[in-house]
Amino acid sequence: MPCEPNLLVGINMFELLDEDDREALAKVIDEEKLLAGQTLFQAGDPGESLFIVQKGEIELFIKDTAGQKIVLTTAGPGDLFGELAMLDSGPRTATALALTDTEVLVLDRDDLILLFQRRPDAGLHMLAALSGLTRKADELLRTRVSRNVNEEMEEHTIPLLR
C-alpha cells in the first residue's frame, strides 16, 4: 500500500525533495506494520529493499561463530536500514527484529535508483547514513575483539594463580 507524501517530510534522505518529487516517491513506497517480536528479515535473505522506521524500534543483529547475538544497532523513527544488501545485491548481513509494534516504509531497489537519478543529492544522505553504520561497526569490532582477548587472558591466568 503506497504511503502518504507527508510521511516523507523530516526524513534526511528525502528532505531535499520538493513536494512533486515526494508525491511521486510516495506512490512507490509501501508501508509495513510489524508486531513486537516479529522478524522483518533474517541474515542470508535476499536484500531488495531498504526500510525507514516510521514508528517503533527495530533491532539489527548478527550471530557470531559461537552463536552469540551481537546487536549492531537499534533503529528508531527516521532511521534507515537494509541498504547494504539492497545496494550490492548481496544477501542480508543481519537480522531485523521489531522490539515494539513498528511501522516501516519500504523502498525497493529500482525505485531508489530512480530517486538517485532524479535527485543525486539524496544519495549523499544515504552515504552519510552508511558512514555512520560503518563507524558503529568499527567500534563494535574494536570492543568485541578487546573483550575476547581479555576473556582469553583471564581464562589462562586464573589457573596459574591457583
Looking at residue 26, its pLDDT comes to 85
Q: Output 159 or 65, whichever has higher pLDDT.
A: 65
Question: What CATH number is given to the structural domain containing 63?
Answer: 2.60.120.10
**Distance from C-alpha of 116 to C-alpha of 139, rounded to nearest angstrom:** 30
Query: What's the DSSP call for residue 18?
Result: -
| SS3 (DSSP) at 120 | helix
Phi/psi for 104 (5° steps) reads -125, 150
- Cβ pair 54, 99 in contact under 8 A: no
Confidence check: pLDDT of 96 > 70: yes
Highest mean pLDDT among 33-42, 104-113, 122-131: 33-42
Looking at residue 59, its pLDDT comes to 97
Confidence check: pLDDT of 78 > 70: yes
Question: CB under 8 Å to 9, separation ≥6 — which residues?
Answer: 15, 22
Looking at residue 155, its pLDDT comes to 57
Confidence check: pLDDT of 135 > 90: no
Q: What is the pLDDT of residues 108-120, one digit of tens each?
A: 888 888 877 877 8
User: What residue numbers bound the domain in which 154 lies?
Assistant: 5-161
**Distance from C-alpha of 48 to C-alpha of 140, rounded to nearest angstrom:** 26
Confidence check: pLDDT of 35 > 90: yes
> Structural domain tally of the chain?
1
